[in-house]
Amino acid sequence: MKTMTLKRAGVLFLLVIVSFLVIALFAEEEKVIPLNDTPAAVKATIEKQAAGKQLGDIEIKSKDGKSIYEVELKEDGKEKTFMVDADGKFLGFGEVEEKEGKECKEGKEGKENEDKDDAEKGEIAISELPALVRQSAEKYLGDLKSAEAKKELENNVTTYDVEVKKDGAEVSAEFNESGEIIEMEKKLKPSQLPPAIVAAVMAQYPGAKIKEAIEIKPFENGQEKPLNYEVMIIAEIKVSADGKFIPETEKETEKEKE
């Protein structure tokens, strides 16, 4: 869902404020890395584009001062390359032309397709919703007089997000073109989180402060699935020079030594 989405997978934690002592993420401007070492958003895009096909090398390259992931894909004995930026945005097929600083033809075509998609999505009036989508939205969200709607187009798949305020809370739902609900989200106050979720966060990040939370209710074929929660916290963590997380107990031991 695009309206209030963080990443979904059980209980996830987004660190808003992170204090790093020393961290060296890249020793060189260009290097080959395994898929599991790419950022979550980049990994998700790579897996989506690969769609089960064989992956080759994944290289980090610098272009205009920004990191670009160049991914090799093997299919039917042929190789092709696609690019993903550091935020997980698909940049099209081709290779990074570092010397000339220009996109290859296929990369440009990919960007043109994305621009076309952008032109076909965005905020829309409730009256522009397909009849089946509107009916479903009224079923799950109630009165739509003050609702806001968005049309999303990704990989030729259209979805609709509808958001309302119920009892002072923002509630949104995502639907496909047939009006079938995909997911509902509700913003929660930290005090509204189930105790088990709060305990799990505090166990992982002692002393952290919960800033925001979202209750996620996924659906499959119209049937509700188990709830998920996304929690935004403010926390301070310590990371070693090789990028490894240092547990709280080790930090306290180091303080004692000092």
Q: What is the CATH number of the domain that holds 112?
A: 3.10.450.360
Q: In terms of C-beta density within 10 A (0-12 exposed, 13-18 middle, 19 or more buried), how is residue 80 classed? A: middle
Report in angstroms the alpha-carbon separations of 1 from 176, 215, 255.
Answer: 11, 13, 43
DSSP H or E segment with residue 257: helix 248-257
Structure tokens at 150: 């968005």
Task: Please name which of 118, 152, 154 lies closest in space to residue 45, comparing C-alpha atoms.
Answer: 154
Average pLDDT, the chain: 77
| 220-225 average pLDDT score | 90
Residue 24 included in any domain: no
Task: Examine the domain organization and report whether 162 and 219 are in the same domain.
Answer: yes
| Residue 136: φ, ψ to 5° | -65, -40
Residues 67 and 128 in one domain: no
What type of residue sits at position 59?
A: E
Give the angle 4-8-10 at the CA atoms, nearest 5°: 125
Whether residue 113 is found in the same domain as residue 175: no
Distance CA 118, CA 95 (A): 23
Name the domain boundary from 60, 88, 119. 119
Residue 214, pLDDT > 90, answer yes
Tens of pLDDT along 31-86?
788 888 889 999 988 888 888 788 888 988 877 778 888 988 887 777 888 888 98
Is pLDDT at 247 greater than 50 in this prediction? yes
> 137-154 b/e with 16+ CB inside 10 Å = b?
beeebeebeebbbbbbee
More confident residue, 205 or 10: 205
Domain residue limits at 56: 33-119
Q: What is the 3-state secondary structure (H, E, C) of 95-163?
A: CEECCCCEECHHHHHHHHHHHHHHHCCEEECHHHCCHHHHHHHHHHHCCCCCCEEEEEEECCEEEEEEE
The reply to whether 133 and 105 lie within a common domain is no
Using 50, 70 and 90 to split pLDDT, how confident is the model at 213? very high
Number of Cβ within 10 Å of residue 23's Cβ equals 12
3-state secondary structure of 225: coil
Query: Quick one: CA dihedral 139, 177, 217, 165, positive or negative?
Result: negative
Q: Is the domain of 111 the same as that of 128?
A: no
**Rounded Cα distance, 183 and 136, in Å:** 12
Residue 249 domain-assigned? no
95-145 pLDDT, tens digit each: 655 444 444 444 555 555 555 544 456 899 999 999 999 999 999 999 998
Q: Which residues of 162-195 are buried (b: 16+ CB within 10 A; e: fewer)?
A: bbbeeeeebbbbbbbeebebebbbbbbebeebee
pLDDT of 230 reads: 92
User: Do 134 and 233 have their domain in common?
Assistant: yes
- What band does 249 get if pLDDT is binned at 50, 70 and 90? low
What pLDDT is stored for residue 180 in this prediction? 96
Shared domain check, 143 and 94: no
Question: Positive or negative CA dihedral for 24, 28, 34, 36?
Answer: positive
Cα four-point dihedral sign 247, 252, 257, 258:
positive
Which tokens sit at 28?
């060189």
For residue 238, is pLDDT > 60?
Answer: yes
**Are 78 and 182 contained in the same domain?**
no
* pLDDT the model gives residue 75: 74
